[in-house]
Structure 1
Amino acid sequence: MMSAHLIATGLGWAPRGGKPILSDVSLSVAKGEVLAICGANGAGKSTLLRMIYRYQRPDTGKITLAGDDLWALPPRAAARRVAAVLQEQPTDFALTVREMVGLGRTPHRQGFSGAGARDGEVIAASLHRLDLVRFADKPFGTLSGGERQRVMVARALAQEPELLVLDEPTNHLDIRHQLEVLGLLRGLGLTVVLTLHDLTLAAEHADQLLLLHGGRVLAQGAPAAVLTPETIARAFDVTARIDTSGPSPRYSFHL
């Protein structure tokens, strides 16, 4: 059995003077696994991600990466190990695609040193992996929303992290590029934590699925074990039907 790479125990967070957004959330992800976090709007998915990529410190609980307390690491050390791709895209449209991807190398540079040969190799490889070579010298602002999303994934890969965190990475992507990006994430050898609205995509591409409801863990495990009609009904307040006649399950929902 693979040992856990990312472990979170007893995570909780509430806005000052407000009701808890997350309560007693724990998870465990093995090295190289893909964990999809699912749940209705307001279930706490984005808050949980913010804790994992060190944007929002938990009020309670602990997160470890390869045994190290993630929130005890110096910021630069953490940035070398954890990369995030968020739904909010940069507004500095004057940068070229190559320059945008190159920003992923920042945590690896010392002081005011410029890009070295190793940086160039990593940037080139990231552009190639996301099929962005032909866009390398174009201004980021001239790209479509889906192309920009691929640039942000390439920038995260250029960081050479061991943990990749993505908030709805298939947003703005057409069906082909959704499948390509999710397939790529599975083949990276990285530990990946992402949120997905599409349960079919989550079931097909994740090793594990964490289902949140009301800021608490409703279920975690293999997608087929988590996504039952009963848990889906409780998490989303809908009636669910699961078609298992094909190679992978298909979900339909009714009020």
Structure 2
Amino acid sequence: MTPVVELSGVHWGPKRQADILHDLTFSVAAGEVLAICGANGAGKSSLLRLLYRHQAPRKGTVRLMGRDLWLMKAPEAARIVAAVLQEQPTDFALTTRQIVALGRLPHRKGFGPGTLDNAVVEAALRRMDLTAFADRPFGTLSGGERQRVMVARALAQEPQVIVLDEPTNHLDIRHQLELLALLRGLGLTVITTLHDLTLAADFADRVLVLHQGRIIADAPPSQALTEATIARAFNVTARVDRSGPAPRFSFQLHG
């Protein structure tokens, strides 16, 4: 079966600067949940930007559904991949419903939204428990509520892949768990960066660990998040306690 997302020998770096990402090769199957972990500066966000067609690889190929992402037109790619980023809209005057409706733009035919578009938007609002906020200006919402709006906008794209950059950052513990459970239940391919290793271990089918722009682990959480790998990736001394139902991580500075 063709992977939904596939990277082959991918390198990337800013124009006229050295590579930040080096020789990335991995694939993600339909319905798989992949967490990308690593220290600040490891290249996690740069990797995500390759997946949602924000930046092209300097070398190598990114494929969606077996096709080169950069041979697709942008709207076609956006019907397959939706992104939820840490940067949020700056037009705070738009309502929650208007923000979510932006997710329909890749599907839009003609001048205005159709009946199907409106139905999809309302379903996304319900799924993210945002109906009560639908007519509220985006700027009046809390950080956690805004994050849920951005996920609802991505769902309105009806993608096959959803890419998220630290989606739990602005959420309290309950909403972190609720969001991750919802993402798991969508049946979509989910690729997300997560700095919380406990959440990554509990949520993901696979964990890809980046260190200085290279993959140093790509395996199920129990195999990827070992003491040795964590120590290398984060430059700390790590302990993993697997005696309970879920692993517990503890860290110390070297020395």
TM bin (shorter chain): over 0.9
1:191 is matched with which residue? Answer: 189
Alignment coverage as a number of residue pairs: 253
Q: Secondary structure at the match of 2:79?
A: helix
Q: Which amino acid aligns with 2:55?
A: Q
Q: Which runs of 5+ in 2 are unaligned?
A: none
Mapping for residues 106-185 of structure 1, pairs under 5 Å? 106-112=105-111, 114-185=112-183
1:101-137 residue CA offsets vs partner (Å, 9 max, x unmatched): 011011101242x111111111111111111111011
CA shift at 1:65, angstroms? 1.5
2:222 is matched with which residue? Answer: 224
CA shift at 1:17, angstroms? 2.9
Note if 1:96 corresponds to 2:95: yes
2:75 is matched with which residue? Answer: 76
2:242 is matched with which residue? Answer: 244
1:33-91 residue CA offsets vs partner (Å, 9 max, x unmatched): 11111100111111100000100110011111211111110111111111100000101
1:64 is matched with which residue? Answer: 63
1:22 is matched with which residue? Answer: 21
Supply the distance in 1 between the matched residues of 2:131 and 2:121 (Cα, whole angstroms).
10
Q: TM-score, normalised by structure 1?
A: 0.97
Q: Which runs of 5+ in 1 are unaligned?
A: none
Q: Which amino acid aligns with 2:101?
A: G
Q: Which amino acid aligns with 1:29?
A: V
Q: TM-score, normalised by structure 2?
A: 0.97
1:180-220 residue CA offsets vs partner (Å, 9 max, x unmatched): 11111111111111100000000100111100001101010
Q: Which amino acid aligns with 1:93?
A: F
